[in-house]
């Protein structure tokens, strides 16, 4: 699964990496993003009078709430299993028509239990920007407010992550991102090949401070290695 992640790159770096013509929203660097919090997502849509859809940065609550859910407290998954997206009513509609990119530059898993839980920060190519395959939904609250929410698609973990968790987020390559956002593709058989673990060689990881265990902590220390030169290559 993916229950915490980071997005500490600058606005301009995000614009350049994902080909955004303008950054419609501004947000601070995030070092410990947690479920239910507001997060940036990238979707493809028509802007003003344009005839071609463009990539747009929007904001969503992390925890998918389909439009048919009456009480969001009863159903708010943060992850969606890639193998069953077509089967599950909660994700089927979004998988067909409302796919998004969720920009990130790291994510956390843990080893140990209880108070001894040790957070591990996973990165791609030693900290570059990447995107999770995401789904998003719209829902109108009883007060008439339009609410956007999202979830991260997960898949069986690769060998690098498996010692810590049996699932991992789907991390898309730049080419796969364009395919994932193509709104004309609704056939799941054309999308399923994208839902695969990232190559082991592209991922590195290291131990970080246990302050990450508290979702209230969102500071640069969350992503600092316990030992500055330590890059872990195997499980503890």
The answer to whether 2 is a known catalytic residue is: yes
What integer is the mean pLDDT of 190-196? 95
- Write the CATH number of the domain with boundaries 5-109+129-201: 3.90.1680.10
pLDDT of 214 > 60? The answer is yes
Q: Which helix (H) or strand (E) holds 202?
A: none
The answer to whether 137 is a known catalytic residue is: no
Which is more confidently placed, 49 or 160?
160
Instruction: Give the residue carrying structure tokens 């997502």.
Output: 41
Residue ranges of domains in the chain: 5-109+129-201
Selecting among 100, 109, 150, 222, the annotated active-site residue is 109
Give percent above pLDDT 90 in the chain.
Answer: 70
pLDDT of 51 > 80? The answer is no
Strands 38-45 and 54-62 turn out to be: antiparallel
pLDDT of 175 > 80? The answer is yes
Instruction: Give the residue carrying structure tokens 């302050």.
Output: 211
Distance between CA atoms of residues 15 and 195, nearest Å? 25
pLDDT of 234 > 50? The answer is no
pTM, rounded to two decimals: 0.92
**62 alpha-carbon distance from chain centroid:** 9
CB proximity list for 102: less than 8 A, separation 6 or greater: 39, 40, 41, 42, 131, 132, 133, 134, 150, 152
Selecting among 2, 100, 150, 222, the annotated active-site residue is 2
Q: Tell me the pLDDT tens digit for each residue of 107-166.
A: 999 998 777 799 999 999 999 999 999 999 998 877 777 889 999 999 999 999 999 999
């Amino acid at each position: 699964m993916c229950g915490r992640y980071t997005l500490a790159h600058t606005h301009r770096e995000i614009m350049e990496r994902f080909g955004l013509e303008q950054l419609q929203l501004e947000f601070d660097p995030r070092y410990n993003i947690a479920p239910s919090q507001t997060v940036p997502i990238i979707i493809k849509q028509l802007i003003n009078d344009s005839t071609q859809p463009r990539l747009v940065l929007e904001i969503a609550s992390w925890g998918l709430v389909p439009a048919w859910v009456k009480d969001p407290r009863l159903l708010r998954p943060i992850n969606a299993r890639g193998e069953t997206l077509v089967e599950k009513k909660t994700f089927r509609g979004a998988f067909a028509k409302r796919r998004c990119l969720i920009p990130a530059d790291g994510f956390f898993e843990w080893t140990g239990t209880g108070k001894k839980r040790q957070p591990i920060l996973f990165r791609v190519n030693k900290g570059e920007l990447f995107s999770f395959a995401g789904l998003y939904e719209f829902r109108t609250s009883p007060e008439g407010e339009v609410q956007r929410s999202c979830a991260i698609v997960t898949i069986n973990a690769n060998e690098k992550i498996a010692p810590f968790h049996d699932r991992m987020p789907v991390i898309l390559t730049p080419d796969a991102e364009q395919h994932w956002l193509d709104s004309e593709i609704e056939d799941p058989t054309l999308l399923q090949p994208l839902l695969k673990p990232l190559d082991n060689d592209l991922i590195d990881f290291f131990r970080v401070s246990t302050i990450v265990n508290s979702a209230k902590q969102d500071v640069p220390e969350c992503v600092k290695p316990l030992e500055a030169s330590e890059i872990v290559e195997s499980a503890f």
